[in-house]
Amino acid sequence: MAGRPREFDRDQALEKARDAFWTRGYEGTSMADLVSVLGLASPRIYAAFGSKEDLFREAVALYEANEGGFATRALAEEPTARRVIERMLREAVETYTRPGRPQGCMVVSAATNCAVENDSVLHWLAEHRLARTASIVERLKQGVRDGELKPDTDAEALGDYYATLMHGLSVQARDGVPKERLHALITVAMQSLDARLVQGF
């Protein structure tokens, strides 16, 4: 209550920070970079977001609520495990290779090599990846219970397999492998699931 109103758009600044962190990672983006990208003096950034780490965590949350939320959306919206997996992988490729946008997955690449003092950030992102892996495994187990997948399916192995592939897609996308090749590789990968499908489900 009271006080001088903020002159800049906080949400817009957060989007710029997300793109910077997505492109360069947590440690690869310095406060000087953020000052330049956001067009804001550092005390304004600290007043609005707390610290560089707080800003990063908000930026990741924004990423996951939008571009990075394809897995969650596929899990929520697709009726079968088969459709969840394919949509997730296809949208991952689209997100990771969008022209004029940061390449790859922010959760995979923003904090893989960190100094000791930023281990908390590194572990936080690792937990996100593990949670995503677990949710995929759970969905495949559900597919077995539903009768969509053959009863002897190793759902954990299959889920680990698709999660691993998705994390690899991020690396390949950042290395500049074109999206057509990534889609072709997904076509190969979908055969593992198709082989476990119960006919006529």
**Binding-site ranges for a copy of itself (CB under 8 A):** 24-30, 108-116, 126, 129-130, 133, 154, 156-158, 160-161, 163-172, 174-177, 181-182, 184-185, 187-189, 191-192, 195
* CA-to-CA separations, 48 to 10, 20, 22, 55, 87, in angstroms, rounded: 7, 17, 20, 9, 37
Least distance (Å) between residue 44 CB and DNA: 4
Residue 47 binding result from DNA, a copy of itself, none, given CB thresholds of 5 to 8 Å by partner type = DNA
CA pair distance 15, 31, nearest whole angstrom: 15
- Candidate ranges 4-12, 17-25, 75-83, 125-133; the one touching DNA (CB under 7 A): 4-12
Other CB atoms within 10 A of residue 116 CB:
6
Least distance (Å) between residue 112 CB and a copy of itself: 5
Q: Helices 119-146 and 81-97 meet at what angle, rounded to 10?
A: 150
Q: Does 11 bind DNA (CB under 7 A)?
A: no
Contact with DNA (CB under 7 A): which of 15, 18, 38, 53?
53
CA pair distance 183, 142, nearest whole angstrom: 26
Residue 166 binding result from DNA, a copy of itself, none, given CB thresholds of 5 to 8 Å by partner type = a copy of itself
CA pair distance 132, 122, nearest whole angstrom: 16
**Residue closer to DNA, measured from CB, 31 or 130:** 31
- Candidate ranges 42-50, 77-85, 159-167, 177-185; the one touching DNA (CB under 7 A): 42-50
Name residue 58's amino acid. Answer: E
CA pair distance 87, 41, nearest whole angstrom: 41
User: What backbone phi and psi angles, to 5 degrees, belong to 149?
Assistant: -110, 150
Q: Binding residues for DNA, per CB under 7 A?
A: 1-8, 27, 29-33, 41-44, 46-48, 51-53, 115
